[in-house]
């Protein structure tokens, strides 16, 4: 993992400098582009409703239609005999603040309360060097709202790249396990586990997964999601 994270650190800085994203305003509400289901779509009859709420790692960044996290997870669950609809609520470039700003809109636009919500935010905060305390507070507010609405959560974590320095990592990395414990959420510790550092599984930017990388991630997430949905 150390070698992979070293490459991650070098490339993360490039992505940070190239992103040019503005923090002035949150992006508009997401348009589902993976599972072919907008937030207001009718869930599968008698099936489970899963919402993937995150950033570009959820949104299917630079992937063909049907190759992002949401549609691939839906397909993997179906292969297990589980009838579920996975709604893509990922927005590329989202920070934790932007996610918090659109959370209520996303939830209120659904046809019904989700059976499970995947939350994957914080990576862009880290790439921009935003305060870990602010990231923690935003994610805390997101999880508090989901708990208030009695929506189970699978939190997919992120790790600080080494170029951010040990002090930043010491403040950032514990955010996800600490909040998962606080809100009794299921934790998948590192979203890019098994992908980062393997160029065969990544887009040319060296960070985002390609379709094969998404398959690796989905292969790891599916048993966890299935177990949560069976509870």
Set 137, 140, 193, 205: catalytic member: 205
Spot the catalytic one: 96, 115, 125, 208: 208
Average pLDDT on 113-142 reads 98
Number of other residues whose CB lies within 10 A of the CB of residue 160: 27
- Residue position matching structure tokens 């993937």: 52
- The predicted model gives 112-140 an average pLDDT of 98
Strand residues in 65-131 grouped as ranges (E): 84-90, 116-120
126 Rama class: left (phi>0) / alpha (psi -120 to 50) / beta: alpha
Is-contact 188 220, C-beta < 8 A?
yes
Q: Which residues contact 9 (CB under 8 A, 6 or more apart)?
A: 161, 162, 163, 164
| Mean pLDDT of all residues in 200-227 | 97
**pLDDT by residue (tens digit) across 172-189?**
999 999 999 999 999 999
Instruction: Please tell me the pTM assigned to this model.
Output: 0.84
Contact 115, 152 (CB under 8 A): yes
Give the confidence band of 231 by pLDDT, cuts at 50, 70, 90: confident
Told to judge if 56 belongs to the known catalytic residues of this protein, a careful annotator would answer yes
Positive/negative CA dihedral, 87, 93, 98, 99:
positive
Which residue would you say has higher pLDDT here, 114 or 12?
Answer: 114
Domain ranges in the chain are: 2-21+31-230
pLDDT value at 16 more than 70: no
DSSP state of 127: H
Give 138's contacts (C-beta < 8 A, 6+ positions apart).
95, 96, 97, 99, 100, 121, 125
**Per annotation, catalytic residue among 34, 56, 96, 161:** 56
Q: What is the pLDDT of residues 188-206, one digit of tens each?
A: 999 999 999 999 999 999 9
More confident residue, 24 or 59: 59
pLDDT band at 44 (very low <50, low <70, confident <90, very high): low
Q: Does the pLDDT of residue 24 top 90, yes or no?
A: no
CATH fold of 2-21+31-230 reads Rossmann fold (3.40.50)
Closest CA to 27 of 93, 87, 88, 89: 93
Q: How is the beta sheet containing 116-120 ordered, strand by strand?
A: 84-90, 48-54, 116-120, 153-156, 186-188
**Residue pLDDT, tens place only, 58-83:** 999 999 999 999 999 999 999 999 99
Question: Which percentage of the chain shows pLDDT scores above 70?
Answer: 80
- pLDDT > 80? residue 101: yes
């Amino acid at each position: 993992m150390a070698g992979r994270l070293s490459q991650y650190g070098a490339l993360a800085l490039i992505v940070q400098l190239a992103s040019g994203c503005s923090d002035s305003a949150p992006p508009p509400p997401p348009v589902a582009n993976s599972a072919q289901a907008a937030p207001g779509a009718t869930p599968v009859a008698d099936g489970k409703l899963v919402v993937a709420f995150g950033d570009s790692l959820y949104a299917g960044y630079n992937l063909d239609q049907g190759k992002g996290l949401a549609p691939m997870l839906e397909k993997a669950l179906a292969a297990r005999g589980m009838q579920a609809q996975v709604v893509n609520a990922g927005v590329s470039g989202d920070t934790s603040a932007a996610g918090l700003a659109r959370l209520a809109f996303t939830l209120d636009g659904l046809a019904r309360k989700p059976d499970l919500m995947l939350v994957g935010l914080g990576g862009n905060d880290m790439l921009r060097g935003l305060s870990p305390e602010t990231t923690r507070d935003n994610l805390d507010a997101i999880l508090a709202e989901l708990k208030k609405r009695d929506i189970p959560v699978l939190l997919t974590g992120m790790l600080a790249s080494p170029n951010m320095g040990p002090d930043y990592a010491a403040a950032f990395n514990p955010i996800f396990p600490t909040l998962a414990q606080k809100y009794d959420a299921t934790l998948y510790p590192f979203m890019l586990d098994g992908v980062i550092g393997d160029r065969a599984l990544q887009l040319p930017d060296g960070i985002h997964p390609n379709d094969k990388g998404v398959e690796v991630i989905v292969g790891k997430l599916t048993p966890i999601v299935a177990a949560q949905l069976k509870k």
